[in-house]
Structure 1
């Protein structure tokens, strides 16, 4: 008989706990459905030192909030908002979090344009391609699909090697056979080939002042693929005749 009472007490306690949990859950769902804690402010900043955004506009931010904001401070789906901000032009990464009691904090990492990818896209400093409008004067990368990371990495190396000559890269070409060609801002084309591109360009920079520059003529083409030297093609300067 004692065992029967103990079993009944255990069953009663279990039922009580189950009912209590159901009541708490129902109350929580009801509370969340109420229009309590409405969202008051959405603060948006960049992840740069001063927190300012360089490209994303206020209108774009407001449009993203209007199109995707559903619910209150507690029920708002942060993943949906993060995706909405992440789709904006120039946004690389968006982070969204609640700030008690009624604020939403959004931090946007913007792309930093490094170059143009052909004529239709841009390349950021991570070597990623993205679509956005820009009036900035940028070098052009022209290569097979999926090579933007390699081209961004080589651009950084080539730029550093050319820095002592104060020559700037205007365009880089990477062929399907992985051959590199560099167009400089002075009109010269450098043929680097598929191997030892960095050592070839370093040799060009090393001998430029006391060999190439001594030609005193604009260069149109330099082939650096030779093991012990290079071939140079100069621009033809037309002769000017004057009549007396």
Structure 2
């Protein structure tokens, strides 16, 4: 089954209007492979601005949201608000939310469930730390994190992209080798076949995230179970176009 390649750019807490204009103008010039779905994860304060200037071939995502529609949750934003400014995606469970802000599997699952119920599409992030990898626990961690998401996603797999991001390869300049990345993606797909369904395993798109650059993207993109990238720092640079076009 053909899975559409999907490339996300997670800007994290970076950018001002001048830099945003540069990034968007660079993406407009492209050219971008029309067979690739492109999503940019924007700081909440700029969601509305980016949505107003972005071309039609690029989707806008929030980088996080809370698990209910409104209320006394100072500093949070809801899926309803994200939709209200025209954005259609949200990134949830990013390793920085897990490690820096202490978000646990069950909270991330609640967020995913509410975002999907509210009509957003979700990039759901999973991945192991260096300590966990060196202890041989990669699969154990990735499967545990994914298992928590199963009831939250339910029958909405067509609205979900999984992003496998080895935490030890984020912002470190280290990248999992194509063989290492492919191995985890293939294992995850096998696990999904057994624990969700064969249809889910065949159709769900699994991105690789972990210091993807213009120089590493082609080899990673050629792996049969890697369906795209979730890109951090490089999504702020002109080489993001090259990464989007990795399979063309």
TM-score (norm 1): 0.20
Structure with the higher fraction of residues in helix conformation: 2
Length-normalised TM-score, structure 2: 0.19
Q: Which has the higher strand share?
A: 1
Structure exhibiting the larger radius of gyration computed from Cα positions: 1
Structure scoring higher RCO (CA < 8 A, sep ≥ 6) equals 2
